[in-house]
Structure 1
Amino acid sequence: MDSDVRLLPPEPASPESADTPAAGTASLTPARLRRYPALARAARRLGPRDGDSVKIWLLSRLAMLAMTWIVAWTGFGSKGYSPHGLASIWQHWDWLRYQKIAAVGYTHYAKHGASYAFFPGYPALLWATHLFLRSWVFSGLIISLVTGLIACVALGRIIEIEALAVFGESEPGRARARQAVRDGLTLFVWAPAAVFLAAGYTEGPFLALVLWAWLAARREKWLVAGVLTAAAASIHINGLFVMAALGVAFLQTRPRGLRAWLRGWPLALPVLPVAGFMLFLKHFTGQWNAWERAEETGWNRHFSVPWRTFLSTWRYAFGHKVPAATAFEYQLEIVVTFIGIALAVWLATKRRWPEFVYVGCSVGTLACSHVYLSVNRETLTWWPLWVLLGIWCVQRSWFRPLYLTLSAPCAFTIAYLFLQSRWAG
């Protein structure tokens, strides 16, 4: 990723993105798809890069299925003669809140924070999926499976674009770019917090929307980018960070004249779902700051100067104030927070301002809370990190095995804790 690479030149046409099948795509268009023209057209657009993305995602789901099986048989004591239910072990923590909002709407019930700390986009998607599947837990798992696949395809395309800018358009450069896609996605699906891509959480849908919004912005399709980011903002407040990053990307196109400036108006659309939700909460609770109060009541999220946040987290991690398993999670939060800070600094030094704005806002808000909380999960949404690491794996052959050696045990441990309904960040 070179500092001279501009973010927004239109993505060059390539044989892989053309309507005609690229080499290696025949296996993606089986004969039975010919009966469904729309599916056949979509399959023809999947080049080798997209095929790699699909395979890596599906293989990682087999690993997650194996973790589920292991926890069901070993994670709930040694005296029982039957395994725990495979579906029930996914029903923990925030998932229960999303499911309740989808089923009965928002309530004032405030055990560990009121339900209105959660944005309505994901519960609405869960409710719509439940209409067809008639199972809440499987609706959440299917949403994560499908949206995770969509996000992986988009992330693979972003990695390829950036890798081609580094390695060039020659045949060896294309081969190295394809390897960067494979490596970056492998590291992504084996991130320490990878279990949250499988659970009924917001990471999958949010990523699926913002990554395709980013690709649309690269082609200067601002209406598409704005609509997708608005949908993401209805799921998670970080949609506003994406809006800010896309705003910087729009400014980098150097618009001239009123007509050019007006092309960027859709990038303000993410304000609408956030403002609408805040108006709803004002009507529902009588308070303009109801969302902020819910965050503070439930998770003690409030502003703190960065050094105090670090010291508070350090005491949780090493001060014997919480159980050891919980302390481990805070130790991991410290590590990934400093990775995020380093990533933001690197993006700034390379003058990659749109990505810097997004990562900086994400890391900054978490580093200025009471303690580092859910930063591990947040890393899943830092797509510049996976782009950078994918390219590093090609440039430094030792990095991929080093990462997997350290990350895979963390990923298994966090999954094991979460599936047992123990604190996993």
Structure 2
Amino acid sequence: MSVSAPPRPLAATGPPAPVRRAPKAPYRRWRPGPDDREVLWLYVLTRVGIWTTAGAVRWLFPADGNRALRPGSLFSPWEQWDWSHYLHIAQDGYFPAGTGPWTAGWDNREAFLPGFPLALRAVHVVVPHWAAAGALISFLAGGVAVLALARIARHQLRHAEAGRRTVLFLLLSPFAVFLAAGYTEALFLALALPAWLAARRRNWPAAAVLTFLASSVRVTGLFLMAALVLLFVLTARNRRDWRAAPWLCLPVLAPAAYSWFLYARTGDWMAWKHAQERGWYRDFHTPWEAWANTWNAAFHHTQPTGYALMWQAELVAMLVGVALLVLLVRRRQWPEALYTALTLWALGTSYWYTSIPRSTLLWWPLWIALAGWSLRRPRLRTAYVCVVGPLSTLVAVTFLTGRWAG
């Protein structure tokens, strides 16, 4: 990672050195510039770090226990939790051999949207190992995502260092291991962040197509669509702009098509939601009920300590999200505030909180806000690296050893 040295003290005479500002629209060129290459270098270094951690986990925590004479396979640490659902969907589809919600022991796989499994099946054509295919998707998608995030940050903060700092905060965030796993976070960001860039350029067809694809990966794509609609309403200037409005309806077709697919096979238009309720207690509860239930799980000694610690992380992540929402409202960043509010509402109205820490990876305004804060208070970056970096390794080891990590 390239870290710029602190500026030297200025001489007693002479004007202060000018601050290098980012260009007004750095995302208009598609070819990576010097700042983009620095971001990619940072991304590669952190991938080396996380894969080194995974390699150590193979040797230190083998599946056969302390008496094992051989480590696990190269990809075994990554084959955890939700990965099995994506793998089974990619291999066998949603309802193999007539099985479904009516089958005893059903795994509720229809709770997962088809975007990532379809990508996994496509890459598997050229990468025979399934886990390797999933890792490759996340690696390539993550590279696209950090480039887009850096360009958004440089444009918003008007500072050349903003992109690198924003990406650093994201890649060292406590739950960043999920950007390297065969999960949906990296692929979603690789579609959602370029969609946001396209919208900022008022290229609404491109933004709509990318959001359509993002909506096939995670339901969060619908929240992104809502933010794009609000951004369009706030920035449309003339009749030519309004002609692009129908494009913004495109993203809703992805979940609509999936709902139709599920209805054709189960007779239930809400099969996706009902699978979420059966498997993950995502039935509706008021926000205060969800907070109370999560608090009880975290602190009332009703759950094993490993799970209780993660529910404590859920509570912290919710507080971070609420603080971010307040900040966005105060700054009148209404589209970003809407996106954040819808995400918090969806995650904060279940029986208890689930996967909110992972969802912080998708809150790009959070990482940009931290970068902007660190530009004003340089010690923040050092504190973040020293305090949050070890937490990121701890969560990575937790996930890679098969324990629940959110």
TM-score (norm 1): 0.85
Aligned to 1:100: 88
Aligned to 2:61: 75
Q: Please tell me whether the aligned partners of residues 24 and 155 of structure 2 are also in contact (alpha carbons under 8 angstroms).
A: no
| Partner deviation per Cα, 1:356-381 (whole Å, 9 max, x = no partner) | 01011111211111111100100000
Q: Does 1:249 align with 2:243?
A: no
| Partner deviation per Cα, 1:307-351 (whole Å, 9 max, x = no partner) | 111111111111111111111111111111100011011101111
Q: Please tell me whether the aligned partners of residues 17 and 46 of structure 1 are also in contact (alpha carbons under 8 angstroms).
A: no
Other structure's SS at 1:270 match? helix
Other structure's SS at 1:321 match? coil
Distance 1:197 1:256 in 2: 40
| Partner deviation per Cα, 1:236-293 (whole Å, 9 max, x = no partner) | 1110000000001001114444x43221211110111110000111111111211111
1:230 corresponds, among 193, 212, 225, to 212
Distance 1:268 1:255 in 2: 19
Question: 1:325-340 to 2 correspondence within 5 Å?
Answer: 325-340=306-321
Distance 2:387 2:297 in 1: 22
Distance 1:139 1:320 in 2: 40
Structure 1 residue runs of 5 or longer lacking an equivalent are 1-10, 19-41, 165-176
Question: 1:281-296 to 2 correspondence within 5 Å?
Answer: 281-296=262-277
Q: Does 1:201 align with 2:149?
A: no
Give the 3 Å change call, closer, same or farther, for CA 343–112 of structure 1 in structure 2.
Answer: farther
Q: Does 1:320 align with 2:301?
A: yes
Q: Does 1:297 align with 2:278?
A: yes
Distance 1:113 1:356 in 2: 35
1:383 corresponds, among 364, 371, 374, to 364
Q: Please tell me whether the aligned partners of residues 112 and 298 of structure 1 are also in contact (alpha carbons under 8 angstroms).
A: no
2:241 corresponds, among 253, 260, 271, to 260
> How many residues get paired?
376
Q: Does 1:182 align with 2:164?
A: yes
2:392 corresponds, among 411, 414, 425, to 411
Aligned to 2:194: 212
Q: CA deviation at 1:410?
A: 2.1
Q: Please tell me whether the aligned partners of residues 277 and 283 of structure 2 are also in contact (alpha carbons under 8 angstroms).
A: yes
Q: Does 1:143 align with 2:128?
A: no
Q: CA deviation at 1:403?
A: 1.9
1:46 corresponds, among 32, 54, 60, to 32
Q: Please tell me whether the aligned partners of residues 159 and 387 of structure 1 are also in contact (alpha carbons under 8 angstroms).
A: yes
Q: CA deviation at 1:13?
A: 5.0
Q: Please tell me whether the aligned partners of residues 50 and 153 of structure 1 are also in contact (alpha carbons under 8 angstroms).
A: yes
Give the 3 Å change call, closer, same or farther, for CA 62–116 of structure 1 in structure 2.
Answer: same
Q: Greater shift after overlay, 109-118 or 358-367?
A: 109-118
Q: Does 1:310 align with 2:296?
A: no
Q: CA deviation at 1:111?
A: 4.2
The one-letter code matched in structure 1 to 2:120 is L
The one-letter code matched in structure 2 to 1:198 is A
Aligned to 1:21: none
Other structure's SS at 2:125 match? helix
Distance 2:205 2:268 in 1: 33
Q: CA deviation at 1:69?
A: 1.3
Q: CA deviation at 1:96?
A: 0.8
Q: CA deviation at 1:180?
A: 2.1
Q: CA deviation at 1:406?
A: 2.8
2:222 corresponds, among 237, 240, 247, to 240
Q: Does 1:364 align with 2:345?
A: yes
Q: Please tell me whether the aligned partners of residues 236 and 242 of structure 2 are also in contact (alpha carbons under 8 angstroms).
A: no
Distance 1:148 1:179 in 2: 20
* Percent of matched pairs sharing the same residue: 40
Other structure's SS at 1:82 match? coil
Other structure's SS at 1:160 match? helix
TM-score (norm 2): 0.89
Give the 3 Å change call, closer, same or farther, for CA 339–353 of structure 1 in structure 2.
Answer: same
Q: Does 1:152 align with 2:146?
A: yes
The one-letter code matched in structure 1 to 2:386 is T
RMSD: 1.6
The one-letter code matched in structure 2 to 1:304 is H
Where in structure 1 do 4 or more consecutive aligned residues deviate above 6 Å?
none
